[in-house]
Structure 1
Amino acid sequence: MAKLMIYTDGASRGNPGPGGYGVVMLYGNVRKELSQGYRLTTNNRMELLAVIKALQALKRTDEAVHLYTDSQYVVNAVQKGWLKKWIDTNFAGGKKNKDLWMQYYEIAKPFSIHFYWVKGHADNIYNNRCDELATKAADGSNLLPDEGFEATLGLTSL
């Protein structure tokens, strides 16, 4: 039986600055890539958004998801229980990215997700491809607003 593997990465040109995410999804012989750029965001937001977008792209919830990321922020928040504590305290103490973490929390519920940390910019071809997708998206011309981040800065539609 095929194993569903997802690789994700986020990038930001400046932190904050233009950013993007990249996703490579593998299932048997099927490969799908996703990416998008944002005009003003942070690296951590793009790392997390990559995971969200990958899960949103899945049509079935009955397969175990093996998710590979170079973001210790994402892996630790889930595996070490940080996210549960953040939710229980309504993100007290200035914890960031509540909007995206709540999106992740809701979308992840029906899935069995196994997170794996991989070293970034190393020898993992899929992680490297995600990095290429994310940086190309960040450098692109069709950048979307990261409305959640821009709202925290008091910015409205630019």
Structure 2
Amino acid sequence: MKEINIYTDGACSGNPGPGGWGAVLVYKENEKQLSGSDKNTTNNRMEMTAVIEALKALKEPCKVTLTTDSKYVCDAINKGWVYSWKKNNWKKSDKKPALNVDLWEEMLKQLDIHEVEFVWVKGHNGHKYNEICDKLAVEEYQKYL
């Protein structure tokens, strides 16, 4: 399997409001930037969309180290919350409905294809690729302002 590093970020002006996402895929010496936006969304949806779109851009199953500043995404995967939510018909431990089920289902499809390790990094803390992703995400939502 090819080993890829992916960096992602999402941003929103208001929550909900116009949002954007950015991703950088790094394979050996090659870098590819991806970004997109939604006119009315939430920050968490943009964080998730960045992960999904980056994974969907891979042309074959890969071993991925995915770095994000989203505790929501990292914890849901690394702590197994999303698997419990799905098993419990998308209900959280407090019996309330899980949010963003459509995106979690899409992300889980991608996680079945790729071997992904999620790594959390503190946002806005000088991490080169996190800063690039944030810039891409902000540029995307600013199209709506």
- TM-score of the superposed pair, with normalisation by structure 2: 0.93
Query: Is 1:106 the equivalent of 2:105?
Result: no
| 1:6–1:67 Cα contact (<8 Å) kept | yes
In the alignment, structure 2 segments of 5+ residues that lack a partner are none
Query: Is 1:58 the equivalent of 2:61?
Result: no
List per-residue Cα deviations over 1:23-68 (Å, max 9, x = no partner): 011001111000011100000000001000000000110x310100
- The code of the aligned residue for 1:112 comes to E
Shift in Å, 1:95: 1.3
- The code of the aligned residue for 2:57 comes to A
| 1:37–1:139 Cα contact (<8 Å) kept | no
| 1:18–1:39 Cα contact (<8 Å) kept | yes
Please point out which of 119, 122, 126 is paired with 2:122: 119
Q: Distance in 2 between matches of 1:96 and 1:112?
A: 24
Tell me the SS of whatever aligns to 2:143: coil
Give 1 or 2: higher strand fraction.
2
Shift in Å, 1:110: 1.7
Query: Is 1:42 the equivalent of 2:32?
Result: no
Go from structure 1 to structure 2 and tell me whether the alpha carbon gap of 1:49 and 1:118 turns closer, same or farther (over 3 Å shift). same
List per-residue Cα deviations over 1:79-124 (Å, max 9, x = no partner): 1010001101122212100000001111210211011101100110
Q: Distance in 2 between matches of 1:27 and 1:43?
A: 27
Q: Distance in 2 between matches of 1:90 and 1:51?
A: 23
- TM-score of the superposed pair, with normalisation by structure 1: 0.85
RMSD: 1.6
- The code of the aligned residue for 2:74 comes to V
